[in-house]
């Protein structure tokens, strides 16, 4: 009898390590968090998110891969968890490049959100760009589609289509 053994994705083989933070975004020296393990009470991990706005005023939406958490839903940000040793901006620049192919030289911080349930601190940035709108590169296994929408179109999307409502607050303030 022959069994097929699935190949392990290289990313899955590497343990992802995060720095631990207090609620004020102060790094806790000597404490390491591991992706997939519960973050202890009173500690947080860092997540950077990037809202991408084209110079024409439209926003980039990314559709999550269907087999993933919140699959098929649209996100108004690129982003993810900061790796050990990364500050919020370095994480944001890396995630933006990985998830969209956009190379930015300047991001503007637009807010921070402390999420006690997820034990996360979200640092949110705005990337203003004039890239060719057809040059967005999807990250395999993460995103399945993208589209550019006006702020009004984004506001009118049904709640069940959006991965999070939180970004709408930032977008409201940006317009």
8 located within any domain: no
26 located within any domain: yes
The answer to whether the CB of 87 falls within 8 A of the CB of 18 is no
pTM greater than 0.95 (yes/no): no
38 located within any domain: yes
* pLDDT, the chain, mean: 86
The helix/strand count (H/E) of the chain reads as 4, 9
The C-alpha atoms of residue 163 and residue 142 are separated, in whole angstroms, by 13
Nearest residue to 149 via CA among 58, 69, 64, 77: 58
Q: Which alpha helices (DSSP H) does 41-150 contain, by range?
A: 88-100
pLDDT band at 158 (very low <50, low <70, confident <90, very high): confident
147 located within any domain: yes
Reported as a single tens digit per residue, the pLDDT across 20-46 is 999 999 999 999 999 999 999 999 999
Count the Cβ atoms, other than its own, within 10 Å of residue 168.
Answer: 16
Q: Which CATH number goes with the domain that contains 81?
A: 3.90.79.10
**3-state SS assignment for residue 106:** coil
């Amino acid at each position: 009898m022959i069994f097929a053994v699935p190949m392990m994705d290289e990313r899955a083989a590497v343990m992802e390590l995060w720095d631990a933070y207090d609620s004020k975004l102060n790094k806790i020296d000597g404490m390491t968090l591991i992706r997939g393990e519960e973050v202890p009470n009173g500690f947080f991990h860092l997540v950077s998110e990037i809202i991408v706005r084209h110079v024409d005023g439209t926003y980039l939406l990314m559709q999550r891969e269907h087999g993933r958490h919140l699959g098929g839903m649209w996100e108004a940000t690129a982003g993810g968890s900061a790796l050990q040793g990364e500050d919020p901006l370095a994480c944001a620049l890396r995630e933006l490049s990985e998830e969209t192919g956009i190379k930015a030289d300047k991001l503007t911080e637009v807010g921070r959100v402390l999420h006690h349930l997820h034990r996360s601190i979200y640092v949110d940035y705005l990337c203003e760009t004039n890239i060719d709108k057809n040059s967005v590169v999807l990250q395999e296994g993460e995103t399945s589609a993208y589209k550019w929408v006006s702020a009004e179109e984004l506001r009118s999307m049904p709640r069940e289509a959006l991965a999070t409502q939180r970004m709408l607050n930032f977008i409201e303030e940006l317009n």
